[in-house]
Structure 1
Amino acid sequence: MPCCGERPPGELVKAVEEFNRGEWFECHETLEELWVGEKGELRDFYQGVLQIAVALHHWHNGNLKGALILLQRGGDCLLRVSSICLQVDVARLRDDAAGFLERLSAAGEERMAEVEPSLAPKLHLLSVNH
């Protein structure tokens, strides 16, 4: 059974690249294929990242409510995951998503478009020597 300590599969590396380019919908599609077949911690990991990607897609499209809900849900999923999973810095993603959630909440519907895209969370792959 796969676990968080393994190397990331190629599809996850592709999803990380999509996420970091702001291709959040595409990232969602890539991750969904991985998420469907998993159980336990890996399922929570994929679901959390997937929900944060969809949250950012909602924000980009002006849907504040959807963005806030999914940033919260994604962060909650990632609380059940190791701080590093499949070489992704989960702890940093959790913190960055929580900070972005606070920024969007403070900006509100009227000013959410003013939130700098550079402040959106990114996925960070760590190189781990085995």
Structure 2
Amino acid sequence: MLRGIEELNAGRFFEQHETLELLWRDTTAPVRGLYHGILQVGVGLYHWSRWTPGTAKSDHHGASVLLAEGTRRLEPFAPECHGIDVAGLIRDATALREELLRLGPERMGERDLAGALTIRVRG
């Protein structure tokens, strides 16, 4: 789990997806929802990071949906779960989604996603 969080924090969204998907698939409820939520937030950022003119609408929609779905899945685990600051993650992912919606599909590439999200882990 920590490896996936480190990858997400470093902006390596594709790698985070690969790492956390394996963990998510091998985990049972209820903590599976935590992993799924983090995974979806990271994949939403991956969609956003892939923006290129001409693909804007699909990337914008995918990023928006995944950020929203990821935060929804994380809500039952707030404020903290397994040392992860879930409330902070929800707040930051929600703010990023709001920024994405403000930018719209044509301007979403203006946002540099390096350091855009940092998941804090206690311990």
**When the two structures are superposed, what TM-score results if normalisation uses the length of structure 1?**
0.83
Deviation at 1:119, TM superposition (A): 6.4
* 1:44-55 map, 5 Å: 44-55=33-44
- What CA deviation, in whole Å up to 9, does each residue of 1:47-98 have, x standing for no partner? 0000001000000001111100000000000012132122111100000000
**Across the two proteins, how many residue pairs are aligned to each other?**
116
| Runs of 4+, deviation exceeding 6 Å | none
Question: 2:46 maps to which residue?
Answer: 57
Amino acid at match of 1:120: A
Give the one of 25, 29, 32 matched to 2:18.
29
TM superposition shift of 1:19: 0.7
Q: Which moved more, 1:19-28 or 1:50-59?
A: 19-28
Distance 1:107 1:126 in 2: 33
- Structure 2 residue runs of 5 or longer lacking an equivalent are 52-58
Identity of aligned residues (%): 37
Q: Which residue of 2 aligns with 1:114?
A: 110
Confirm whether residue 70 of structure 1 aligns to residue 66 of structure 2: yes
The whole-number CA distance in structure 2 between the counterparts of 1:116 and 1:35 is 28
2:88 corresponds to: 92
CA RMSD of aligned residues (A): 1.3
- Indicate which of 77, 84, 91 corresponds to 1:81: 77
The match for 2:31 is 42
TM-score by length of structure 2 reads 0.88
Contact 1:78 1:90 (C-alpha < 8 Å) held by counterparts: yes
Give the 3-state SS of the residue equivalent to 1:79 in structure 2.
helix
Classify the secondary structure of the residue corresponding to 1:95: helix
Inter-partner Cα distance in structure 2 for 1:41 and 1:61: 31
Letter in 1 for 2:20: L
Contact 1:41 1:80 survives alignment (8 Å): no
Tell me by how many angstroms 1:29 deviates: 0.9
Q: Which runs of 5+ in 1 are unaligned?
A: 1-11
